[in-house]
């Protein structure tokens, strides 16, 4: 009579406490290597495969038909192609890399925001305004059209003290509020002026960063705290799983077998998460999603696979360890001879 009750309580302890703790601890251990490491994020943008995406000739084909820059509406694919010709991809890579450093510096100092360093991109835009204009005009044959002022106001929304211009056609607006028309001769000058107007740095306020900084002394403390929490959670999960196995079964052979199977349960899906990017081509997933055009963008597919394998590497390591331990525990049942009570159960 007591054996079914013990098995029920052992299973309930595992299902409602042990299993969630095992999954949580395995997930935390899997993401711990890169979650608080800025170098892991920077490697995603500094890798040559990211540069290949920015320079890929297929990129302009996936741009929207039109792109609004400032007060003017550009042809999207032509603007993207001209940007590739005039602006080096290294400027975007440097800007993204410095932004990652700024975010982690803000977390480290407890600031409520961070500064985006736009200087590399700003300098590249100023220097490349002429080549951009030439490349854009060569593809379109005409300068971008001005966005009607009324449309600009509607997109920005009304502000206190500002009256919406009732006109719907820019031609009926006073000349003082009309957007100057661009021509092939002054496009480069207008682009250079717009690039010069960009600030070297841009402040981004994010109160959540300050909240993280107030709870932790610095980034090193945050990293150490996350590591400690992962380890303690794993120890608690292991202890409760062992306790559940001891409660459910009475002899060592059955306990080891049950313990191994309960470790294999969460370990297999964790391992699958780590193995999927290595076993499945991202192009196949995209085809199943119905975006067949993405299959013609090999640089992006290669980068997605690289990013996925980089971020899921910890899952494969933790999953392999869990599956290995679980398999070893289950296999020990073949080395330990069954007890007299098991022989009796089989006869019954």
Whole-number Å distance between alpha carbons of 243 and 185: 80
- Whether 173 is in a domain gets the answer no
Residues 3 and 102 in one domain: no
Cβ density class 222-250: b for 16+ within 10 Å, e for less: beeebeeebeebbebbbebbeebbebbbe
What is the number of structural domains in the chain?
A: 2
Q: What is the pLDDT of residues 241-250, one digit of tens each?
A: 999 999 998 8
Q: Are 125 and 76 in contact (CB under 8 A)?
A: no
Whole-number Å distance between alpha carbons of 18 and 346: 30
Cβ density class 109-122: b for 16+ within 10 Å, e for less: ebbeebbbbbbbbb
Q: What is the pLDDT of residues 98-139, one digit of tens each?
A: 999 988 888 887 776 788 889 999 999 999 999 999 999 999
Residues 184 and 304 in one domain: no
Its pTM stands at 0.79
Q: How far is CA 111 from CA 37, 42, 96, 218, 323, in A?
A: 18, 21, 20, 11, 42
Q: Are 116 and 202 in contact (CB under 8 A)?
A: yes
Residue 280 has pLDDT above 80, yes or no: yes
- Whether 338 is in a domain gets the answer yes
How does the average pLDDT of the chain come out, rounded? Answer: 83
Q: What is the pLDDT of residues 80-100, one digit of tens each?
A: 999 999 999 999 999 999 999
Residue 166 has pLDDT above 50, yes or no: no
pLDDT above 90 as % of the chain: 51
Q: Which domain holds residue 325?
A: 1-35+218-348
- Eight-class DSSP state of 17: I
Q: How far is CA 9 from CA 212, 250, 264, in A?
A: 39, 14, 20
Residues 208 and 226 in one domain: no
Q: What is the pLDDT of residues 228-239, one digit of tens each?
A: 999 999 999 999
- Eight-class DSSP state of 16: I
Residues 65 and 128 in one domain: yes
pLDDT score at 337: 75
Q: Are 301 and 294 in contact (CB under 8 A)?
A: yes
- Whether 318 is in a domain gets the answer yes
Q: What is the pLDDT of residues 27-53, one digit of tens each?
A: 999 999 898 889 999 999 999 999 999
């Amino acid at each position: 009579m007591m054996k079914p009750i013990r098995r029920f309580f052992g299973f309930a302890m595992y299902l409602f406490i042990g299993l969630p703790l095992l999954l949580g601890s395995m997930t935390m251990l899997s993401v711990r290597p890169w979650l608080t490491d800025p170098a892991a994020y920077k490697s995603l943008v500094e890798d040559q495969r990211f540069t290949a995406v920015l320079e890929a000739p297929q990129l302009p084909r996936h741009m929207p038909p039109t792109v609004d820059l400032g007060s003017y509406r550009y042809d999207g694919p032509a603007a993207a192609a001209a940007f590739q010709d005039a602006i080096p991809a290294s400027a975007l890579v440097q800007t993204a890399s410095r932004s990652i450093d700024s975010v982690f510096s803000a977390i480290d100092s407890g600031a409520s925001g961070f500064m985006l360093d736009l200087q590399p991109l700003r300098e590249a835009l100023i220097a490349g305004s002429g080549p951009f204009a030439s490349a854009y005009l060569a593809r379109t044959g005409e300068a971008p059209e001005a966005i009607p002022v009324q449309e600009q106001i509607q997109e920005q929304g009304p502000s206190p003290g500002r009256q919406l211009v009732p006109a719907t056609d820019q031609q009926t607006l006073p000349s003082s509020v009309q957007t100057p028309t661009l021509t092939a001769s002054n496009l480069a000058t207008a682009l250079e002026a717009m690039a010069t107007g960009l600030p070297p740095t841009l402040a981004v306020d994010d109160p959540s960063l300050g909240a993280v900084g107030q709870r932790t002394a610095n980034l090193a403390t945050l990293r150490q705290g996350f590591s400690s929490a992962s380890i303690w959670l794993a120890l608690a999960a292991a202890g409760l799983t062992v306790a559940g196995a001891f409660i459910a079964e009475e002899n060592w052979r059955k306990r080891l077998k049950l313990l191994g199977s309960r470790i294999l349960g969460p370990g297999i899906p964790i391992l699958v998460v780590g193995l999927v990017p290595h076993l499945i081509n991202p192009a196949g997933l995209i085809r199943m999603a119905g975006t067949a055009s993405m299959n013609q963008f090999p640089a992006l597919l290669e980068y997605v696979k690289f990013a996925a394998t980089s971020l899921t590497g910890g899952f494969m390591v933790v999953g392999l360890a869990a599956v290995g331990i679980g398999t070893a525990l289950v296999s020990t049942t073949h080395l330990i001879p069954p007890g007299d009570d098991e022989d009796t159960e089989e006869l019954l």
